Amino acid sequence: MQRIEKSLSFDALIVGSGIAGLRAAIGLAESGTRVALVTKDDPTDSNTGYAQGGIAAAVSEEDRVELHLQDTLIAGDGLCDEEAVRVLVEEGPERIQELIEWGTRFDREGTRLAFAQEGAHSRRRVLHAQGDSTGMEIVRSLLARARQFPSLSFFSRTFSVDLVLEGERCAGLLLLDERSREVWLARAPAVLLASGGAGRLYRETTNPPQATGDGMAMAYRAGAVMADLEFVQFHPTTLFAPGAPRFLLSEALRGEGAVLRNGEGGRFMARYHPDGELAPRDAVTRGIIQEMERTGDACVYLDLTGRDPSALRARFPRIYDTCLRFGFDLARDRVPVHPSAHYFMGGVRTDLFGRTSVPGLLAAGEVACTGVHGANRLASNSLLEGVVFGARAAGIMLAWVKGAEVRASRQNVVPLRALPTGESQEIASALAGIMWMQAGIRREAGGLASALQYIGAWEASLNAEPIRREGVETRNLIILGRLVCRSALDREESRGAHYRSDYPMRREAWRRHLESKAPSPAEDLPRFE
């Protein structure tokens, strides 16, 4: 039995300090609501901070909301929920104006906002900040505003282990203080998961180490409905050089004229899609893989050579300096690139206000599946989704908090089924390799079935262990690996980011969402009594 060191109560709990979590926290704290925002590392460490390209919204004089709607629906390859997309594009301009009023410094051309072009957008509608540091700038401004409210408490380096149920309702969180190693309970009538995605499920990924799918796995264990987990977006262009991380080279580079070349120096994307380098991400990713197979090369090359170095550095300072650090000058050298796992379109199924199928539990941002992305996310819609649905979730949480009585109660906490730290690291690495090979950019039934066999064996090896972050993260990745492989095996077609080499065509019968749900909440889930 794990000892509980302390128990605290709040009006609302939020897991994650990216754009969705911060926007929700501000919306709650403005009313004086006692909010605890929990993040397993520093509040500045989130997928939002890694977002380079920008945030898309129809706010320029040359753009219209209907055009943004249509571009999103087309990119989603028949699986977007149009009502959700309409919420996104119609409320997006108001949220952008709010960010500006709160101090977000988007790039400008003179006094007017500057807009970039990205793949599958029919207009230049992507706002950016400091060239290619949009996410960092948005996090900076939201954190600055959030810290103005005394009713908002930050709990950094605090790992969310599991949701806590009271009957069928989510009523809190089981938490691990990483500094003291103490385990404690936090109770609230409203809990929001804004914990991001699960890119670390794959060997090649743009995501930071924190992206282990904790919120998705916790929600599944608590009995929440999951949806569209077979749709994992792979970014086509990440740095591919010895000793370099899979650093994302933004789609905005191609929007500004960068082209893709093979090892012989020839452009090739027109062979695979009529829109060439500005095709949707799934098409560019598969085009690169096909070209690598055709030529036998280990990578392809992103070419911006011949451009003014000072202009490139001004527009893409972070990318320019990172490439230079690994020996590539954007203005003079072709940069080796290779696709990597980037974003989960699927996640915890929610309605248009972030409510999940578990009473008391909401989700927003990448952890959630609102239906706005369908089978393939339109570039730079992810930050917009976070701020729009983070604000919407805050409104629902305020309604739940109003009049709710947070009472003390006994808790029954049972030993957690996890893995010892050393073993968990080895399994996480093996899992990432299997997922990349068998459930990555191209899939087929035999490979998916093989992956499920490995994952089943690892699940069977879970034992009661002391609560440690590494073991719990690996447990979460194993759960998600099974869900992704199962959904990918079930969807016998190719659509958007999901490509089955044994079912290469899109099939109308599969124009529907696939949902997953645990038969019941996990037996070892902590509960209030």
Cα separation of 335 and 327, whole Å?
9
Active site residue 482: no
Which token pair is 283? 């098409």
Count of CB atoms situated within 10 Å of the CB of 456: 12
Count of CB atoms situated within 10 Å of the CB of 110: 6
Which token pair is 483? 């869900």
Active-site pick, 86, 125, 281, 475: 281
The per-residue DSSP string of 133-186 comes to -HHHHHHHHHHHHHTT-TTEEEETTEEEEEEEEETTEEEEEEEEETTT--EEEE
Count of CB atoms situated within 10 Å of the CB of 305: 16
Which token pair is 476? 């979460």
Count of alpha carbons within 13 Å of 502, Cβ hemisphere only?
Answer: 12
- Beta strand 152-155 with 35-38 is parallel
What's the Cα-to-Cα distance from 350 to each of 166, 257, 456, rounded to whole Å?
21, 38, 28
Which token pair is 315? 């527009």
Residue type at 413 in one-letter notation: V
Task: Show Cβ contacts of residue 104 under 8 Å, excluding neighbours closer than 6 positions.
Answer: 129, 137, 138, 141, 142
Instruction: Report the catalytic residues.
Output: 281
